[in-house]
Amino acid sequence: MSFPWAPALLALYYSVLVVLSFFGLHRLMLVFIYLRTGGRRAAQPPPPLPDDPQTWPVVTVQLPLYNEMYVAERLIDAVCQLDYPASRLEIQVLDDSTDETTEIVARAVAGWRERGVDIRHLHRTDRTGFKAGALEAGLASARGEFLAIFDADFVPTSDFLLRSVPYFLAEPRLGLVQGRWDHINRAYSLLTRVEAILLDGHFMIEHSARNRSGRFFNFNGTAGIWRRAAIESSGGWEHDTLTEDLDLSFRAQLKGWRFLYLPKLKVPSELPVDVNGFKSQQYRWAKGAVQTGRKLLGQVWRAPLPWKVKLEALIHLTNNASYPLMVLLSLLIFPAMLLRRGTSTATLLLVDLPLFLSATASVLTFYLMSQVAGNEEWAGEIRYLPALMSVGIGLSVNNARAVLSGLFHDGGVFHRTPKYRIEKAGQSWTTKRYRVGSDPTRLIEALLALYFLGITVYAAVAGMWMSIPFLLLFVQGYGYMAVLSYLPSLRDWWARGRVAAGPAGAGG
């Protein structure tokens, strides 16, 4: 039986696969650049700081906080122990909190001030501009020539400034030094394992390849240090996107400032343990990247830059388009299976297999290389790669919604990711405060999981065995996201039910 719309549907299906394959091959290109530029273009040790510490540049450390009662004191304690001359170091706690975090911060700041640390508590009564607004307000009163920034979930080691500041003294046009995120609670759960590998790919392969090859890369909002002149000459912090760090990074590099990435400069941080917090973080990053692309791609394209820089910037700021394409592919897979039933094995091997390998095997290679490059225990991490593929699929609905919102809206509410000071397995976060609201995509994820479960059963009955492993990735990905997204609501419902029931045997 033939359908008049079949050629158009198959053309759309293969077009989506081609674009996803392109993004996959781009990851392979970054792996190739990483391998080609390793060693000879890696950052060399900086020159020593001057012998007299009183001649060292003044550094302002900025700590933007909003309702971080569990981790604020940990961060302040770590920053106040940075190994740097006290007279050359200023610390600003940029506190927008509306809860007891403000009292916790005030006590910690007072304690460190008594010990001779130049630390100030700057509390705003509104969140105008959100994080970008807080950084902008802090910059207005900062006395530092350089500004180091750490989010609430980070715990910088004491040598961070000693290992980063010297690079600025050796190169006047160096605008930023970015450190690498390390992970305190990597082994907490399967989710945190996957999150860590996702970030390892970004920090070990993307950042390294882009920086070594002279392409643009970006400040990650934390664990980095800016030259003040680079911020001010590039227009300062702006808050018309949800990724103020990415926005300023591109504007500064368009102004000619050079950036440096130091993969050996590790800064421990806490990964989200709640899937809804993780999804909220991913939503903000995806939406902000699209907004930044809308804002700056025209400037990048008109700038007198090498083509390799322009093309990489284009892909960098548009690669989140893969998420709505993945959702579209999810909807097209079953109709395409029906229309291609009976297709010869030779056609599948010549057409379908290369496209699927480009879109999937390339991603596996990318993340495998990130573990080989940056994790001494990489052999034990590779067993989580199938779960990573599934989580990437499961995120597609959440991030597709972010992409669509970013295409049509500037700015938005900066929903910060809840942190609970979860540092090791066995700790519980479920009774702690701070929760992301109900996730609007979880019902769609649940329906897609059931949809793919049905497709998998159909494939088994029809003898389409080659499709089943691929389909199970979709079942697992959408199902995992849906189940974890519903669990907090189910826990809360169960807890409310037990409270309403009262003590056992207390009935009338």
Active-site positions read 96, 245
Give the DSSP per-residue string, 128-159.
Answer: TTHHHHHHHHHHHH---SEEEE--TTB---TT
Phi first, then psi, for residue 15 (nearest 5°) are: -65, -45
Q: Rounded distance, CA 40 to CA 211, Å?
A: 13
Q: Rounded distance, CA 469 to CA 456, Å?
A: 9
Phi first, then psi, for residue 148 (nearest 5°) are: -95, 140
97: nearest Cα among 86, 108, 88: 108
Which helix (H) or strand (E) element contains residue 199?
Answer: helix 190-200
Q: Decide: 474 and 391 in contact? Cβ < 8 Å.
A: no
3-state secondary structure of 218: coil
Report the phi/psi class of residue 249: left, alpha or beta, with left for phi > 0 and alpha for psi in -120 to 50: alpha
29: nearest Cα among 247, 316, 262, 298: 316
Q: Rounded distance, CA 93 to CA 79, Å?
A: 10
